[in-house]
A and B are shown apart, each in its own frame.
Chain A
Amino acid sequence: MYGLNRKDTVLLLIVAILVAAAPLLLNPFPDTSAMGKTFNAGYPDLMQRFVIFGIFAIGFNILFGLTGYLSFGHAAFLGVGSYAGMWMLKLLSINVIPAILFSIAVAGAVSLIIGWISLRRSGIYFSILTLAFAQMAFSLAASVLTPITGGETGLQTSLNDPRIMPGFLGGGTVNSAGNIPAPSLLGMEMSESFILNVGPWAFTFNWGYYICATFMLLAFYIAIRIFRSPFGLMLKAIKSNQQRLNYTGLNTRPYMLTCFVISGMYAGLAGGLMAAMDPQVGAERMQWTASGEVVLMTILGGAGTLIGPVLGAGLIKYFENIFSKINKATLEAWFGVFPDWMTDLLVTLVYPFIGKGWHLTLGLIFMLVVIFLPGGLVEGGQRIARLFRRGKTGAGALKPAE
Chain B
Amino acid sequence: MDQIILQILNGLDKGSAYALIALGLTLIFGTLGVVNFAHGALFMLGAFCAVTFQRLLTLSYTFLDESQKDFLGNPLKVNVPYVNDWFGPEAGASIIDWSVPLAILFAIPVMIVIGIVMERGLIRHFYKRPHADQILVTFGLAIVLQEIIKYYFGANQIPTPAPQAMFGSFDFGALVGRDPGAIIYPYWRIVYFLFAALLIALVFAFLQFTTFGMVVRAGMADRETVGLLGINIDKRFTIMFGVAAAVAGLAGVMYTPIVSPNYHMGMDFLVISFVVVVVGGMGSLPGAILAGFMLGILESFASMREVIEFLPGINQVVIYLAAIVILLTRPRGLMGRRGVMEE
Contact = CB atoms under 8 A, between A and B. Distances in A.
Interface of A: 68, 70, 117, 120-125, 127-129, 131-133, 135-136, 139-140, 143-145, 288-289, 292, 295, 299, 352, 357, 359-360, 362-364, 366-367, 370-371, 374
A307 to B, nearest CB: 20
B147 A371 contact: no
B147 A360 contact: yes
13 contacts: A68-B132, A121-B327, A121-B331, A125-B341, A127-B132, A128-B275, A136-B321, A145-B313, A288-B271, A362-B143, A363-B142, A363-B143, A367-B140
A262 to B, nearest CB: 20
B274 A128 contact: yes
A364 B144 contact: yes
Contacts of B122: 371
B320 A136 contact: yes
Interface in B46-91: none
B324 interface: yes
Interface in B271-285: 271, 274-275, 278, 282
Contacts of A68: 130, 132
B132 A363 contact: no
Q: How large is the interface on B (under 10, 10 to 19, 20 to 34, 35 or more residues)?
A: 35 or more
A132 B151 CA distance: 29
Contacts, number: 109
Nearest to B311: A144
A6 B343 CA distance: 40
A132 B323 contact: yes
Nearest to A145: B313
Contacts of B133: 370, 374
Contact of A140 (B142, B282, B317, B328): B317
B125 to A, nearest CB: 7
A139 B313 contact: yes
Interface in B5-27: none
B131 A123 contact: yes
A169 B320 CA distance: 43
A288 B320 CA distance: 14
B330 to A, nearest CB: 12
Nearest to A363: B143
Given A140-B313, A140-B317, A364-B144, A132 B324 contact: yes
A312 to B, nearest CB: 13
A125 B282 CA distance: 10
Contact of A371 (B35, B137, B312, B328): B137
Contacts of A70: 132, 135-136
Nearest to A72: B135
A127 B343 CA distance: 12
Given A144-B312, A370-B133, A117 B328 contact: yes
B316 interface: yes
